[in-house]
Every structure is written in C-alpha cells, then in structure tokens.
Amino acid sequence: MTAPVSIRSLNHWFGGFHALKNIELDIRSGEYITLLGPSGCGKTTLLSVLGGFITPTQGTVSIGGRDMTRVAPAKRPTTTMFQDYALFPHMNLRDNVSFGLRMAGVDTRTRHARAGAMLELVGLADAALKRPHELSGGQRQRVALARALAVEPDVLLLDEPLGALDLKLRRAMQDELKSIQRQLGTTFVHVTHDQEEAMAIADQIVVMNAGSIEDQGPPARVYRDPATLFSADFMGEMNHIPAAASPDGVVTPFGALPQRVDGPKAVACIRPDAIKLGDGPVQIGGAKIKEAAFFGTYIRAHLVPDVAPDLILVAHLPPGDLPEPGARMTLSAEPQAFHVYAAGD
C-alpha cells in the first residue's frame, strides 16, 4: 500500500527553540526520499511529526490526501522503524512481526502466515521462533523492518536505521532496503546523516539544516548543482574560492565566471573531481603539490595555485604514480562546474 505525503507551513517549537521552520514538502506516492542533515537539523523531529509522535505547533500533514496532523500513531497509515529497533525482548520473532496484525484483530493462522512471509522477505524465515537477543544487530534490524512492513503501511518511516552497522553490512542493507521498497511500492522516508547513503538509496534527497530545508531534488542534481552553500558542502567535499561580484558575474583569482550573485562578495565552489589536469576554459594555471595520497580509484592531492598562493585546492587526480610534494601541475576546469553563492550564505 502506498500514499503521497504533503507537508504545509510546518512549524514546531520546543519551548523557545524553533525546531522546524516553515517546512513545505511534497512526497510522491511510492517515492524513496531521504531526510539528510547534521545532528540537530530537525530531521528526526520532522520524522516524528510524520509518525504522529509529535503534534506540530503549526502547519498541516496530509497523507493520502487526508489531514493527519493530529491523528495518533496507531491510527495513521504509517509505521516507524526506530533507531534502537525496539524489538519486544520477551516475544519471539514471529510474535514480534505479527504484533501489529494481532492488534488489528487478525486471527492467529493468518497473522502467523503473514509474519512468515515478511520474515522470508528479509531473509530470516527459519529464525521465526528465536528471541531478539539471540540475533546480531544486522538481523535485528531486518526484523524491525519486517515488523513495520507487516501491517502494510502507506508510508514507512526509518530513523537512521543503518547507523549501528559496520560499513560492509550497511552497504548490503542499503541495497536491500532499496530493493524491498521497489518491490512493495510503499513510500519510504529515511532519515540519515550520511550523504553517501542518501545518494545510494534515494529517489529524492531533502537536505536540512537548522530546522529548514536547504535543498531538495534527485541525488544527481543535488550533488552536481546544489542550491545552497550548505548543501554544496554537505553533499561532498568542495573547494571554496573567494570571489568578488562584477557587472558580468563574479571574478575569481582564476578569471571571470558568468554566474551571478546578490551582494558584493561571493564564494565559488568546485568539487575536487571537477578539477582537470592541463589547459581548459577556466585556467587555474600552474600549481605545486603540497601532499598527495593514493585512494584507489584516484589520487587525492592538495595543491597550491601560483596565482593564489594562500589557497589550497583539493583535486582528484587520475590514479598513477604518486606525485612528490613540490611537483608542478597545470590545472583547469569548466565554467559550469563552478557553483557560486553569496558570501556569508
């Protein structure tokens, strides 16, 4: 089952603290969206509002076209997967997964069958009679997922579900989550602080900071063309190049750029992988290697450009022989690889 979600003019205060500021968000039916941001940005608060655990001070939440702003969690077509899983320790896996069905009054045989099907979906079919404490962290996480999906919610809310797992397991679970979501078609709202995770899974990324939405869009767009400086920095490493506004755009130490900004000062940002060796439209010019490290598919190098010796640029060079500190390179870039924002953004 699936449904679209619509959030309008959402504001929430905790006492005097303005936790959510004028949130406007539309989530399409069957979409996998991630709420991405640093700790304290409000993403978990927003998720709690969606789940019905917090009633917002102002604004509305509609799910499937119906106003659900003040509806209790039990009555909403959402289920939440909690960060600590919250599996009931005194029940076996089958009873855990079928709990929601039991509360809805489904008879024993049907709900056991359904629980079995859900456990099979997450690959734990033969552990149905085990207790949560007998499982590993990764396995418990899958049970929590099965339990949340067993009641066929329209929207599944995931609160940093992969935080407690090690890297390899995390990657595997990301693929699984994506595949399950595609299979079921349920709308997934996934909270994370890991931008790589967001990019791997999401159809849409919502970047949040200090209670507001900074940027929103498909991963590729948010990565390549971030709307704000915060979003640019959060999505991946960025070089910051000071620039000054001019009648035709901005002026950087490496030349003029066509992008315009409001205000006299600006910051031109470019990703390390967008800096190329050799000559190009925006000529960065000669630069001296300060240090370099081998990263497998590229060499991460810190370079000091001749025309701006107090800048340090980070660039991803093609993997080859590791250059010595002091070695000289010529660097350039395309003008559209730069993202320019007003300074103090």
Closer residue to other proteins, CB minimum distance, 104 or 125 = 104
In angstroms, the Cα distances linking 14 to 47, 49, 56, 211 are: 15, 13, 10, 12
Candidates 40, 103, 136, 185: give the one binding other proteins (CB under 8 A).
Answer: 103
Shortest reach from residue 82's CB to other proteins, in Å: 5
Closer residue to other proteins, CB minimum distance, 50 or 275 = 50
Q: Which residue has 């993202």 as its token pair?
A: 339
- Listed residue (136, 131, 200) closest to 166, CA to CA: 136
Candidates 3-11, 13-21, 83-91, 320-328; binding stretch for other proteins (CB under 8 A): 83-91
Candidates 69-77, 116-124, 220-228, 262-270; binding stretch for other proteins (CB under 8 A): 69-77
Candidates 42, 56, 100, 132: give the one binding other proteins (CB under 8 A).
Answer: 100
- Number of residues near other proteins (by CB under 8 A): 23
Closer residue to other proteins, CB minimum distance, 16 or 318 = 16
Give the Cα separation of 223 and 234 in Å (integer): 9
Structure tokens at 139: 């396995």
Closer residue to other proteins, CB minimum distance, 49 or 269 = 49
Q: Would you give the binding string for other proteins spanning residues 142-171, x where CB under 8 A is met?
A: -----xx--x--------------------
- Taking CB under 8 A as the rule, does residue 90 contact other proteins? yes
Contact in structure between 192 and 162 (CB atoms under 8 Å): yes
Contact in structure between 81 and 96 (CB atoms under 8 Å): no
220 CB-near residues (< 8 Å, 6+ apart): none
Beta bridge partners of 209: 212
Contact in structure between 219 and 35 (CB atoms under 8 Å): no
Shortest reach from residue 83's CB to other proteins, in Å: 8
Candidates 82, 152, 163, 164: give the one binding other proteins (CB under 8 A).
Answer: 82
Candidates 14, 55, 58, 73: give the one binding other proteins (CB under 8 A).
Answer: 73
- Taking CB under 8 A as the rule, does residue 32 contact other proteins? no
Closer residue to other proteins, CB minimum distance, 100 or 272 = 100
Candidates 19-27, 50-58, 241-249, 261-269; binding stretch for other proteins (CB under 8 A): 50-58
* 58-63 sheet: strands from edge to edge: 17-27, 5-14, 58-63, 66-67
Candidates 71-79, 262-270, 290-298, 322-330; binding stretch for other proteins (CB under 8 A): 71-79
Closer residue to other proteins, CB minimum distance, 97 or 287 = 97
- Listed residue (143, 204, 338) closest to 260, CA to CA: 338
Contact in structure between 276 and 338 (CB atoms under 8 Å): no
Classify each residue of 99-136 as buried b or exposed e, where b means 16 or more C-beta atoms within 10 Å of its C-beta.
bbbeeeebeeeebbebbbebbebbebeebbeebbeebe
Contact in structure between 212 and 21 (CB atoms under 8 Å): yes
Candidates 74, 247, 262, 296: give the one binding other proteins (CB under 8 A).
Answer: 74
Residues 215-244 that bind other proteins (CB under 8 A): none
Candidates 14, 53, 294, 295: give the one binding other proteins (CB under 8 A).
Answer: 53
- Taking CB under 8 A as the rule, does residue 141 contact other proteins? no
Q: Which residue has 């734990």 as its token pair?
A: 124
**Contact set with other proteins (CB under 8 A):** 51-53, 72-74, 78-80, 82, 84, 86, 88-90, 99-100, 102-104, 147-148, 151
